[in-house]
Structure 1
Amino acid sequence: MKMRFKKWCLMLLLAIATPLHAALTIEITGGAGNQIPLAIVPFAAESMLPQSMTAIVGSDLARSGLFRLVDPASPQPPHDPAEVRYAEWTGKGAEGLVIGSISARPDGKLDVRFRLMDVVKQAQLAGFSYTITPAQLRSTAHKIADVIYEKLTGDVGVFSTQIAYVVKNGKRFELQVADADGYGAQTVLASQEPILSPVWSPDGTRLAYVSFEQKKPIVYVQNLVSGGRKQLVSVKGSASAPAWSPDGRKLAIALTRDGNSQLYMVNADGGNLQRWSANSIIDTEPDFSPDGKWIIFTSDRGGSAQIYRMPAVGGAAQRLTFDGSYNVSPHFSPDGKSFVFIQRQSGKFHVAVQDLATSQVQLLTDTPQDESPSFAPNGKMIIYATEINRRGVLAAVSSDGRVKQRLSVQAGDVREPAWGPLLKNQ
């Protein structure tokens, strides 16, 4: 029995020792003014694993900019609520404390337990247990970080989500999908022609994007589960700027089949193509409101590129942006109360947010070449593309502009980011 157990432990270590390389490295360049002091004690028996779950949890929370990690070193590190000596952690300045344990099961799985303790009130805020395979270790750490984030901030955590983006190396373009922290990157499509505008379906199982592989922009829908893909519509002219309806049944796209770029609706399977806007000017870059009642889009109908809103069933268009002569790439916030976009000022392009009720605009970035903003599904962060030293990188900024991050790869330009949805099983 002992020999079998030792052999199983060796197999476990080999299974989780497979190196995971980050396609994106993340640098935090700004933080919130009031950070929550949090101590995360290494879980019991965690040292037997090549990967530290608590290190992943801590990295997630630190990356949000809302937490200050307190030194977890202790003469008697607690792993159970009964072992917590609150005076010790109060003395360290911690307001929250994370403790837990990992144990191996005979069937090859792991039992993971964690508790979030309120140091000030000396009470447990949350506690969960997971039975996982070794391959699920990292994703479980993200789930733990999500629980902690939600309990301490009141907002939904997005550490378990994914992002899509395009990497350009020389003449090669790759559409990649990775975890929100940049790990586990997988190539969805590789091409010698440009790839643009990836956008997630609401259920996270499909990506719509624009490919130039037929020497003109064409919209494709890729199934991330089966790997299959199809051209959305086959018409003369170009197709671009796809946007999913909230129920995932339709897409809004821009087509030039009748001359200038106009907006069309089409079923997700490519059927029932219908023209949505009809005029002699350019309409493009549509985006649905979270309730599906509105579409926001870019148009030059006023003489310059500005952002408009129109009922999804059609009707009169309402101009939304008036600051500056060039405002493009609008996307609704997840709560539908604001939208993010790119605004040009003095020849520089910045990420901005506008409140729909007050029309108040806030510039969020000071980088000069920003593009392609995309909200995180909790609305608290915005990922976008920018340029640093003539190289494309991704960056993220909080919706209030206080927290900033920079994401890059070792080689190549990174562009066209899109933050994936919250999944129901998370």
Structure 2
Amino acid sequence: MSKTITRFYFFLLIFSLGLPAFAQFRVDVSGIGLNQLPIAVATFRGESGAPQKIASIVQADLERSGQFRGVDTTGVALDEGSRPDVAVWRQKGADSLATGSVVRLADGRYDVRFRLWDVVRGQDLGGQSYAVAQADLRLAAHRIADFIYEKLTGDKGAFSTRIAYVTKAGQRYQLWVADADGENAQSALASPEPIISPAWSPNGSQLAYVSFESRKPVVYTHDVVSGKRRLIANFRGSNSAPAWSPDGRTLAVTLSRDGGSQLYAIDAGGGEPRRLAQSSSIDTEPAYTPDGKSIYFVSDRGGAPQIYKMPSTGGNAERVTFTGSYNISPAISADGRWLAYISRVNGAFKLHVMELASGAVNAVTDTSADESPSFAPNSRLIVYATQQQGREALMTTTLDGKLKARLAGQNGNIREPDWGPFQKQ
């Protein structure tokens, strides 16, 4: 039985390959997007003496988004006070230019400043400054990328958000929290038993997940900062697939306490669950819509797993997926426009994206073992797990599949990604 099928039934998640205890990532971008904006990110003056290369992080963020194409700036260092020769940058093919500086302060912090220029019009598009601890230099770079992305595309950037994922090393499972580019990973939980289905709370302060430490699947919530956790669902049978409501007050979960796997709503602080539907089929993998009024979920009530939608208070369900005979793992974009899911096609499990208004569906990958799609909070990218060259890895893709970035562990495999919400600055 494939791991994707096993995930649907939620009886046990089997990791077949050992994973590293520390997951360091590199980003490899492939593919060509249409109408990419050419941008030059000059070396920040003073960054050679800093532990993080701010300009490189900013450029990697922008290129990974699929919206930007980098312009060569080799040998050029400009600070935020420099007035660039826009004619030179136009000749290089750039439409915009980012400049900046990094200065170490007396208290050990770093002063990071930048400015963005429209070199076509010769306009100063503004800038920002951050005084940050050394550990937050990467966060400052991501926030610079967010500023540039929003200024030039009109959409909010999601580079300063976080992802969660799971690894296994020997008999040790770990839940990790990392930057959206996969770097700066911090272990949130370690266990000798499997951890699956991490899900961020809407405010980004907690993760819900399933742990097998009780020798069966049990749902916990976990405070990311303090490490404190709360047991939410430990009923008879299986407790799995937690999903937060948009207001953070409720979790939809899959319980088998009354027989087959069914959907329930439970208070985020715990308590008695309320069954959402009466069905003799397997219902699982709930996902709330952004307005909280509906839940998408997977059911085999038609004979094979398909994605359905019903009111979040329970009630009649309507089928959503009709292309393909086996569709699981629904994820809804924050703008409510897109449904990402995994479809089995000729024995291969591939990531698909549906435009909900029209019902149009596109396969966006050429891999065969895709799992666990999750949208960026700006709805412009999807992170998912897959296999490449026999190894498990995380990928991000644009919604059209034209540009992908691999977030690959150096010595092992990574699973179960979930992309966190926007962070308050």
TM-score (norm 1): 0.91
Amino acid corresponding to residue 153 of structure 2 in structure 1: T
Which range is displaced more, 144-153 or 403-412? 403-412
128 and 319 in structure 1: CA distance in 2 versus 1, 3 angstrom threshold: same
Q: In the alignment, which residue of structure 2 is the partner of 1:366?
A: 366
Amino acid in the other structure paired with 2:233: V
Cα distance in 2 for residues equivalent to 1:404 and 1:174: 26
More RCO (CA 8 Å, sep 6+) = 2
Residue 140 of structure 2 aligns to a residue in which SS?
helix
* Residues 129 and 302 (structure 1), Cα distance of their counterparts in 2 relative to 1, 3 Å cut: same
Alignment-derived partner of residue 12 in structure 2? none
- Partner of 2:228 in structure 1? 228
C-alpha distance 407-105 of structure 1, shift in aligned 2 (>3 A): closer
Q: CA deviation at 1:86?
A: 1.2
Q: Which residue of 2 aligns with 1:54?
A: 55
C-alpha RMSD of the superposition: 1.7
Runs of 4+ in 1 over 4 A off after TM superposition: none
Q: CA deviation at 1:170?
A: 2.8
Per-residue CA shift, 1:250-304, capped at 9, x if unaligned? 1000000000000000011112421111121111100100010100000111111
Aligned to 1:212: 212
Which AA in structure 1 matches 2:195? I
Match in the other structure for 2:19: none
Q: Count the aligned residue pairs.
A: 404
Q: Give the corresponding residue for 2:269.
A: 269
Unaligned 5+ segments in structure 1 are 1-20
Residues 305-324 of structure 1 deviation map (CA, whole Å, 9 limit, x = unaligned): 11100011222111111111
Paired position in structure 2 for 1:138 = 138
User: After superposition, where does 1:96-175 map in structure 2 within 5 Å?
Assistant: 96-175=96-175
Give the distance between the partners of 1:74 and 1:408, measured in 2 at CA.
29
Change (3 A) 1:212 1:65: same
In 1, Cα distance between equivalents of 2:37 and 2:412: 36
Whole-angstrom CA distance in 2 between matches of 1:73 and 1:413: 34
Contact persistence 2:277–2:315 (CA under 8 A): no
Alpha-carbon distance between aligned partners in 2 of 1:148 and 1:212, rounded to the nearest angstrom: 43
Residue number in structure 2 paired with 1:375: 375
| CA distance in 2: counterparts of 1:26 and 1:374, whole angstroms | 18
CA contact (8 A) 1:111 1:131 kept: yes
One-letter identity of the residue aligned with 1:55: S
Letter in 2 for 1:98: A
Partners of 1:349 and 1:395 in 2: CA distance: 15
SS where residue 413 of structure 1 aligns? coil
Question: In the TM superposition, what whole-angstrom CA distance separates every residue of 1:117-148 from its partner, at most 9, and x where no partner exists?
Answer: 00001001121122223332221111001111
Q: What is the one-letter code of the residue matched to 1:345?
A: V
Q: Which range is displaced more, 268-277 or 234-243?
A: 268-277
Task: Report the structure number with the largest CA radius of gyration.
Answer: 1
Equivalent pair of 2:164/2:178 in contact (CA under 8 Å): yes
How do 1:313-392 residues align onto structure 2 when only pairs under 5 Å count? 313-392=313-392
Cα pair 1:204 1:420 within 8 Å, conserved = yes
- Give CA deviations for 1:97-118 in whole Å, capped at 9, x if unaligned: 1112233444443332211000
Return closer, same or farther for 1:120/1:285 CA change in 2, 3 Å cut-off: same
The aligned counterpart of 2:7 is none
Distance 1:321 1:84 in 2: 52
CA-CA distance at 1:368 after TM superposition = 0.6
Cα contact 1:398–1:404 (8 A) shared by 2 = yes
Greater alpha carbon shift after TM alignment, 50-59 vs 137-146: 50-59
SS at match of 1:83: coil
Contact 1:169 1:411 in 2 (8 A): no
CA displacement at 1:73 relative to structure 2: 4.3
Partner of 2:32: 31
CA distance in 2, matches of 1:108, 1:411: 34
TM-score of the superposition, structure 2-length normalised? 0.91
1:82 positional shift: 5.7
Q: Distance in 2 between matches of 1:374 and 1:80?
A: 36
Amino acid at match of 1:40: V
Q: How many Å apart are 1:90 and its aligned residue?
A: 1.2
Deviation at 1:31, TM superposition (A): 2.9
Distance apart, 1:80 and its partner CA: 4.4
Separation in 2, partners of 1:338, 1:269: 30
Contact kept, 8 Å, 1:297 with 1:308, in 2: the verdict is yes
Query: 1:374-417, CA deviations, whole angstroms, 9 ceiling, x for partnerless residues?
Result: 11111111111112233221112111111112222122321111
Task: Give distance in 2, aligned partners of 1:277 and 1:346.
Answer: 32
In 1: Cα distance, 2:131 partner to 2:24 partner? 28
CA distance in structure 1 between the aligned counterparts of 2:172 and 2:74, rounded to whole angstroms: 47
Write out per-residue CA displacement over residues 338-358 of structure 1, whole angstroms, 9 at most, x where no aligned residue.
211111111111001112221
Cα gap change, 1:73 to 1:196, in 2 (>3 Å): closer
Residue 4 of structure 1: aligned partner? none
- Which has the larger displacement, 249-258 or 209-218? 209-218
Identity %: 52
Taking the aligned partners of 2:348 and 2:155, their CA distance within structure 1 comes to 33
Distance 2:164 2:34 in 1: 30
Residue pair 1:243, 1:288 contacting (<8 A) in 2 also = yes
